[in-house]
Amino acid sequence: MTVCGDIHGQFYDLLNIFKINNNPGPKNKYLFNGDFVDRGSFSVECIMTLIAWKCVNKDFLHMTRGNHEARQVNLIYGFKGEVEAKFKDNGVYEAFSEFFCCLPLGYVINKKVMIVHGGLPVSDDVKLNDIRTIKRFVEPPVSGPMCDILWADPTTTPGRTPSKRGASMGFGPDISENFLKTNGLELLIRSHEVKQ
């Protein structure tokens, strides 16, 4: 499975991923790990392409919700304006917003690898079942486990630290290690940050 981080409306980058790595298929599965929209000028094209592939076969392409799949963030970073410029009907943006609320917050692959957009919940000893029971069919709250999964970032400092983003917290390597051990996992994959 190929895991792809933030696309952020970069349609030609999305096409290039499929060109380099081939289209989704039975032996070429993808997981797009949130932040499909905002910032770039082709967010509509990105999300529609991903939805179309998902409709072709639900087992070839998977998506998690990112912090940019939220109304308040879309208002600030451009997706709402893009949709309203490309579709005069306001119902289109509402449909996208409803779709975003349906996206999973994460996946566990082979019972060993957890994939979420942001990071780990602030509370210690959170179990996978606790995450599975989060009521995700809403706009993200400003605090709590859903917020953390969408917004948290790892740090090199042990423990928890204030977030550079003003939402959720930073979590140290000890927090990651404890979470993985508690849940019988080996690896956490996340996106949410630009890497050189």
**Among candidate residues 148, 169, 149, the one with its CA nearest the CA of residue 159:** 169
Residue 196 lies in a domain: no
Please pick, among 8, 62, 68, 117, the residue that the annotation labels catalytic: 68
Per-residue pLDDT band at 63 (split at 50, 70, 90): very high
pLDDT > 90? residue 40: yes
**From CA 192, how far away is CA 78, in angstroms rounded?**
17
CB of 190 within 8 A of CB of 150?
A: no
Domain boundary among 104, 138, 163: 104
Known catalytic membership, residue 68: yes
The pLDDT tens digits of the residues spanning 112-128 come to 999 999 999 988 889 99
Residue 88 lies in a domain: yes
The pLDDT tens digits of the residues spanning 77-100 come to 999 999 999 998 779 999 999 999
User: Helix H segments across the chain?
Assistant: 11-21, 43-56, 71-77, 79-86, 91-102, 128-132, 145-151, 173-182
pLDDT at residue 3 in the model: 97
pLDDT at residue 36 in the model: 97
Per-residue pLDDT band at 134 (split at 50, 70, 90): very high
**Both 128 and 37 in a single domain?**
no
The pLDDT tens digits of the residues spanning 154-183 come to 999 999 988 888 889 999 999 999 999 999
Residue 194 lies in a domain: no
Take residue 46 and report the two structure tokens written for it. Answer: 């990105």
Q: Furthest-apart CA pair in the chain: how many Å?
A: 50
**Both 76 and 165 in a single domain?**
no
How many domains are contained in the chain?
Answer: 2
- Reported residue count of the chain is 196
**Could you list the residue range(s) of the whole structural domain that residue 64 is in?**
1-104
Which pTM was predicted? 0.93
Determine the average pLDDT of the residues in 56-70: 95
**Both 91 and 165 in a single domain?**
no
Take residue 84 and report the two structure tokens written for it. Answer: 């309203």
Take residue 56 and report the two structure tokens written for it. Answer: 């072709």
pLDDT > 90? residue 57: no
- What are the two backbone dihedrals, phi and then psi, of residue 60, each rounded to the nearest 5 degrees? -90, -30
